[in-house]
């Protein structure tokens, strides 16, 4: 969407139709958020700049993100890359406010390193993780929401894919990211979107969300009554305290397999990616399209048909 003025206006018009709003009402009720990349180092492409200006004019949220890969599009040092990221991001953020004061905007960070042997982008590295954390500190300095990422350069849904995504995700979470892009399904440095990795990553994201919940310490939470009723050397399986909570006491994974090896073999020896395939296929089978009023559907179809004809005759 964020490529040039025409695409942005078409997208905004269709969004307004879908919501049953005028374009003026849409500006007062932001409904979309999109990414605008800086062509690092220190260059704002015309199409990206037009998109940012138009989005700000329309009152829709913009994520301003420099593409600062250390050693390639930014200095090879983390400090130097972060300084460049900050300068480029603040430039774009200021531009949104010049266009429309108070326009919603997000500080974006996408700093990582490259493989200096090949020049290929690398993700989920210690440098990428630290950049994710530091980017959050910079965003908070300006009291801005923070966009970060959880990426991987792996070419398959394998152990590398998991540890790189997990490393990047830890940086994003530790950096207090408000918006985490590429956190589900990203593979091969962004060249491939994998259904299986989407499912695996969603499991990881839900587990991370559960991890971040606070712990309460009421008398009931401390389980003092259970301690009184269970003898030394006994167990808590049948205690009233356990029985009243066991259904939702722990995070319930939808992908992990906790059976023993014999049971796992008997069930077909399915690995995580095999189970992930079954999950996304079942989800597709049960998909229900969004329920829009018929008049809005017809208005959208009319708009798309008209714009296709106009674009086909070069009347842009």
Pairing of strands 61-66, 33-38: parallel
The residue to which tokens 């990349």 are assigned: 37
pLDDT at 312: 80
**Angstrom distance (rounded) from CA 33 to CA 18:** 16
Instruction: Convert the pLDDT of each residue in 283-298 to its tens digit.
Output: 999 999 889 999 999 9
Q: Which fold has domain 4-213+291-312?
A: TIM Barrel (3.20.20)
pLDDT at 248: 93
42 CB-near residues (< 8 Å, 6+ apart): 84, 87, 88
pLDDT at 316: 47
**Cis ω for the linkage preceding 41 (within 30 of 0):** yes
**Angstrom distance (rounded) from CA 40 to CA 74:** 7
pLDDT at 311: 86
pLDDT at 94: 98
Name the residue ranges covered by the structural domains of the chain. 4-213+291-312
**Angstrom distance (rounded) from CA 126 to CA 145:** 23
Nearest 5°: phi and psi at 251?
-65, 125
3-class SS of residue 233: coil
pTM, two decimals, is: 0.90
The residue to which tokens 């005759």 are assigned: 313
The per-residue DSSP string of 127-169 comes to HHHHHHHHHHHHHHHTT--EEEE-----SSSSHHHHHHHHHHH
pLDDT at 222: 95
Q: Which stretches of the chain drop beneath a pLDDT of 50?
A: 316
């Amino acid at each position: 969407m964020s490529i040039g003025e025409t695409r942005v206006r078409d997208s905004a018009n269709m969004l307004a139709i879908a919501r049953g709003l005028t374009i003026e009402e849409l500006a007062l009720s932001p409904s979309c958020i999109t990414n605008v990349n800086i062509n690092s180092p220190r260059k704002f492409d015309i199409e990206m700049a037009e998109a940012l200006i138009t989005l700000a004019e329309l009152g829709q949220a913009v994520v301003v993100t420099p593409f600062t890969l250390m050693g390639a599009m930014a200095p090879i040092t983390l400090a130097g890359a972060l300084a460049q990221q900050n300068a480029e991001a603040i430039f774009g953020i200021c531009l949104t406010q010049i266009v429309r004061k108070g326009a919603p905007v997000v500080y974006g960070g996408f700093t990582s390193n490259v493989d200096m042997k090949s020049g290929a982008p690398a993700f989920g590295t210690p440098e990428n993780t630290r950049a994710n954390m530091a980017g959050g500190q910079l965003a908070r300095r300006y009291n801005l929401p923070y966009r970060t990422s959880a990426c991987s350069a792996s070419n398959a849904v394998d152990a590398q894919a998991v540890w790189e995504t997990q490393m990047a995700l830890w940086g994003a979470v530790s950096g207090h990211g408000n918006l985490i892009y590429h956190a589900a399904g990203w593979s091969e440095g962004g060249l491939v979107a994998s259904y299986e990795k989407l499912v695996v990553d969603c499991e990881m994201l839900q587990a991370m969300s559960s991890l971040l919940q606070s712990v309460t310490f009421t008398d009931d939470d401390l389980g003092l009554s259970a301690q009184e009723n269970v003898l030394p050397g006994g167990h808590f399986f049948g205690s009233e305290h356990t029985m009243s909570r066991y259904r939702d006491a722990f995070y319930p994974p939808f992908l992990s397999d906790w059976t023993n090896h014999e049971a796992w073999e008997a069930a077909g020896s399915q690995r995580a990616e095999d189970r992930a395939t079954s999950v996304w296929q079942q989800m597709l089978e049960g998909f229900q399209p969004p329920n829009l009023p018929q008049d809005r559907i017809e208005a959208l179809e009319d708009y798309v048909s008209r714009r296709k004809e106009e674009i086909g005759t070069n009347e842009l």
